[in-house]
């Protein structure tokens, strides 16, 4: 199918379930490459870089600021990622999802044009001690709640039953009011008729955020996103990385403190020292919910809708988290592939045995 015909097919509007959180649907625009090049001053201001390409800041002639992602040099993989993200984001509109404005292609270059997020990614806040100290619990709670609402839209309200497969702080952008928007849909997968799970022969995602079931068997479901969301909550509260090559994982650390009755110790010192007693109680409840999200058994993890209910109804009792997450212990070695990490590379794409 010719590229033009394919893109027209991708942009056909799709009826969506009504929600007060939807934003108005706008057409995805095909930009001229020279227009994008001029808007970014020939791609001079780099604002982000990852495994899928580089992101540059720009400004259109009407004054609107944009972020332009140039995917890595054209290959079958790049083409697949480009069309996957274009296909998905052209059908999604929600206040907690990044807004795709358009695209452009030229020879072996593929560009996606997004709204610009002035506060960059949540990851930038958490890894910068000065910026992290500016995040109060109220700000963090609003960020966590916004991520959850975006996930509920993907899983239950969009009509696509979509699994993101790479939820993490780096894929959460913050606008001028620190409202979160989920990005990074290169790995996203639509589930056929909202099936409970699907199988994959390739593991993709980011170490520390991939759920045990997906790692072991290749079975992916919306509960995979729930797991990654639980880890993300813990990274926000603790300001620790999800995975440490030399030490314990974040989950091991939090579970150990939880089992000792010392959960308050995992709260970042800024929040622990500045927040009121009722806020500390709420933070501990969010830690509790996060531990339920990272249950080793996908079937007993809550849905995102259930999580949002727990967030809003503080009087609702919570089940006890499972004691420890055996999968993450150092004694666990029966993975279907060997795990290796190098500095600066946290994503993994590893084959597993096809059943």
**248 is an active site residue:** no
Is 69 marked within a binding site? yes
Token couple for 41: 């001053």
Give the span between the Cα atoms of 138 and 143, in whole angstroms. Answer: 9
Tell me, rounded to whole angstroms, the distance of Cα 276 from its chain centroid. Answer: 30
At which residue do the structure tokens 């497969």 appear? 165
Name the phi and psi angles at 197, rounded to 5. Answer: -160, 160
How far is residue 216's CA from residue 227's CA, in Å, rounded to a whole number? 14
- 128 contacts 57 by C-beta, under 8 angstroms: no
Question: What's the rounded Cα separation, in Å, for the pair 191 and 324?
Answer: 30
β pairing state of 46-50 and 347-351: unpaired
Nearest in space to 314 (alpha carbons), one of 287, 285, 294, 276: 285
Residues in the chain: 355
Encoded tokens for 118: 């002035």
Q: CB burial class (10 A; 0-12, 13-18, 19+) of residue 267?
A: buried
C-alpha–C-alpha distance, residues 155 and 191, integer Å: 9
Q: What are the helix (H) ranges across 181-340?
A: 212-217, 222-238, 250-259, 269-274, 277-293, 304-312
Give the whole-angstrom CA distance, residue 102 versus residue 187. Answer: 19
Q: Which of 128, 166, 246, 248 is catalytic?
A: 166
> Which residue from 219, 207, 192 is spatially nearest to 342, judged by alpha carbons?
207
* Under 8 Å between Cβ of 103 and 165: no
- Which residues participate in catalysis according to the annotation? 166
Binding-site entries for ATP: 69
Binding-site entries: 69
């Amino acid at each position: 199918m010719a590229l033009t015909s394919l893109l027209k097919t991708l942009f056909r509007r799709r009826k969506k379930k009504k929600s007060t959180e939807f934003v108005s649907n706008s057409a995805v625009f095909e930009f001229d490459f020279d227009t994008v090049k001029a808007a970014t001053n020939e791609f001079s201001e780099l604002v982000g870089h990852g495994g899928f390409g580089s992101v540059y800041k720009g400004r259109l002639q009407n004054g609107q600021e944009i972020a332009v992602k140039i995917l890595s040099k054209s290959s079958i993989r790049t083409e697949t990622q480009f069309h996957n993200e274009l296909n998905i984001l052209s059908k999604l509109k929600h206040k907690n999802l990044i807004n795709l404005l358009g695209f452009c292609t030229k020879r072996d270059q593929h560009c996606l044009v997004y709204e610009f997020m002035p506060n960059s990614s949540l990851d930038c806040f958490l890894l910068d001690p000065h910026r992290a100290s500016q995040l109060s619990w109220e700000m963090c709670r609003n960020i966590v709640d916004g991520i959850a609402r975006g996930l509920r839209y993907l899983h239950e309200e969009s009509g696509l039953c979509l699994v993101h497969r790479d939820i993490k702080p780096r894929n959460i952008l913050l606008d001028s009011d620190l409202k979160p928007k989920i990005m990074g849909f290169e790995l996203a997968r639509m589930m056929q008729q909202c099936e409970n799970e699907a199988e994959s022969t390739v593991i993709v995602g980011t170490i520390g955020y991939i759920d045990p079931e997906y790692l072991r068997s290749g079975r992916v479901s919306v509960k995979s996103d729930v797991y990654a969301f639980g880890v993300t909550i813990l990274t926000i509260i603790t300001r620790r990385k999800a995975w440490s090559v030399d030490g314990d994982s974040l989950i091991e650390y939090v579970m150990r403190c939880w089992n000792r009755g010392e959960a308050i110790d995992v709260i970042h010192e800024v929040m622990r020292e500045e927040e009121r007693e009722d806020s500390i109680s709420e933070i501990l409840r969010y830690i509790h919910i996060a531990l339920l999200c990272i249950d080793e058994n996908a079937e007993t993890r809550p849905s995102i809708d259930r999580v949002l209910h727990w967030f809003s109804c503080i009087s609702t009792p919570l089940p006890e988290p499972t004691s420890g997450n055996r999968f993450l212990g150092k004694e666990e070695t029966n993975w279907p592939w060997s795990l290796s990490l190098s500095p600066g590379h946290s994503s993994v794409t590893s084959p597993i045995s096809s059943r």
